[in-house]
Structure 1
Amino acid sequence: MTRTAWSENASAPLENEHVELHPISEDDREPLRKIAFDDRIWTYFVSRVESDADFDQFFDAMLADQHSGKRAVYIIVDRGTGQVAGSSSYGNLSEADGRLEIGWSWLGVDFQGKGINRWAKYLLLQHAFDVLGAERVEFKTDVLNAQARAGLRKIGAYEEGVMRSFNPMPEGRRRDAIYYSVLRAEWPSVEDQLGRLGKAVNPCA
């Protein structure tokens, strides 16, 4: 099967009946701004959004990464409400090695706990394995982020280990980062698990 180069197709629009993911554009600035100002979103993030200036710097960095090809930045839309819910990205793309990371993910607090994150991950994993032809998809999170770690284990991602003192955090500590991964051979099982979890959250799906 012929695969499309990642540089050409990493940012393809993705959707199912629950969520829509589209590549970031300037049009997304104000819809994202409306949901960004809550400290709970940024507890384990490597940056903070506390003011309009913080947000514009954060959004400009996403746009710059998208345009340079450093990341494929997606905006997540909740199809139930038609509202922008948050963002997620492909990053650390290494096509020669068949490896990429899904991360930089956040949702407005009103969209958390509703299955949106799982459906977004489903679409991003599906696109990575079935279209881009990835062999490995990885995730990393703060070792202190118990909720994210539990979520990754729940979908069947494999917990690989901790990278100590990985990066500085805004409050001054150095974060220990814990890595998870899904391999191509594991994807069918993870795909099934994500589908079942999503239907449990959305019983009418």
Structure 2
Amino acid sequence: MIRVLPVTLEFNGLRLEPLAPHHEEGLRAAAMDGELWKLRVTSVPEPHAAGQYIETALEMRDRLAFAVVDARSATLLGSTSYHDIVPGVDRVEIGYTWYAAHAQRSHVNTSCKLLLLSHAFDTLGCAVVGLRTDCENFASQAAIERLGAHKDGTIRHHALRRDGSVRDTVMYSILRAEWPAIKSALHERLERHVRS
């Protein structure tokens, strides 16, 4: 049975550290880079609500939220989480992921996913890692599919968006047996990024 405990993870110039109140200013700045809170299909906090975002994340019993930090400059780039943790079946999900506009379409998301997936499968011993996204968040769906995750289906009329509308949720998963090939593909993608 898995035990998901706070941990700091580092790789490829990035550090994932447990989200804490002292990250509020950096989280606010990251959200302002691209006015990401205006997107109805993401979980990015409005700048004035960065403190509440952190507080809510810390109160959730089945979520371990991380600050995504550029290890060289100590600049906060965004946030990601393990959530919907189900120890009885050795399952976690990765989500609540967002990055400042300048960090998007870079090595950041691939590196973070590699860190979180490696920790989940290789350290925690997860049997499966899930990912989910809004049915209208096509960029997120494409990013998850590029990871090599299996599309499990859509849960209709599943969750509220920030604007009060109800979304369908697209569910994905990666099984432990699929992880070695996905891990290799992610490393290759990062190597290509360095060469380009």
TM-score (norm 1): 0.87
Structure 2 residue aligned with 1:167: 159
Q: Which position in structure 1 is the counterpart of 2:126?
A: 134
Corresponding residue of 2:180: 188
Runs in 1 of length 4+ with deviation above 6 angstroms?
none
Greater CA drift, 73-82 or 165-174? 73-82
- Partner SS for 1:128: helix
Match of 1:6 in 2: 3
CA contact 2:31–2:47 (8 Å) conserved in 1: no
Of the candidates 141, 145, 154, which is equivalent to residue 149 of structure 1?
141
Q: Provide, for residues 60-102 of structure 1, a one-character-per-residue CA deviation record: whole Å limited to 9, x for no partner.
A: 212323xxx4211111112354311111110111111111110
> Which residue of the other structure, out of 52, 61, 64, is the alignment partner of 2:56?
61
Q: Percent identity?
A: 29
Equivalent residue in structure 1 for 2:100, among 108, 132, 140: 108
Correspondent of 1:40 among 36, 57, 72: 36
- Note if contact 1:41-1:109 (Cα within 8 Å) is conserved in structure 2: no
Q: Secondary structure at the match of 2:122?
A: helix
What per-residue deviation string (whole Å, max 9, x for no partner) do you get for residues 42-62 of structure 1? 52125x63351x222212212
1:98-121: CA deviations, max 9, x gaps?
111100111111111111011001
| SS in structure 2 at match of 1:6 | coil
TM-score, length-scaled by structure 2 = 0.91
| Inter-CA distance 202–126: structure 2 relative to 1 (3 Å threshold) | same
Change (3 A) 1:51 1:31: closer
CA RMSD of aligned residues (A): 1.9
Counterpart for residue 120 of structure 1 = 112
Counterpart-to-counterpart distance in 2, 1:55 and 1:82: 18
| 1:21-51, Cα deviation, whole Å (9 max, x unpaired) | 11112221111111112433552125x6335
Gaps of 5+ in 2: none
Unpaired runs of 5+ residues, structure 1, are none
Could you say what secondary structure the match of 1:114 adopts? coil
CA contact (8 A) 2:19 2:54 kept: no
- Per the TM alignment, residue 128 of structure 1 is displaced from its structure 2 partner at its CA by 0.3
CA contact (8 A) 1:41 1:107 kept: no
Structure 1: distance between partners of 2:157 and 2:9: 35
Q: Note the C-alpha offset of 1:200.
A: 2.1
* Larger displacement relative to structure 2 (13-22 or 30-39): 30-39
Decide whether the 8 Å contact of 1:78 with 1:116 is kept in 2: no
**Can you list the C-alpha shifts for 1:154-184, whole angstroms capped at 9, x where unaligned?**
1110011000011121223211100010000
Letter of the 1:50 partner, please give it.
E
Task: Tell me, in whole angstroms, the C-alpha distance in 1 between the residues paired with 2:188 and 2:71.
Answer: 19
Q: Measure, in 1, the Cα distance between the counterparts of 2:147 and 2:188.
A: 10
Q: Name the count of aligned residue pairs.
A: 194
Task: State the AA in 1 paired with 2:16.
Answer: L
CA distance in 2, matches of 1:188, 1:39: 37
Please tell me whether residue 49 in structure 1 is matched to residue 45 in structure 2: yes
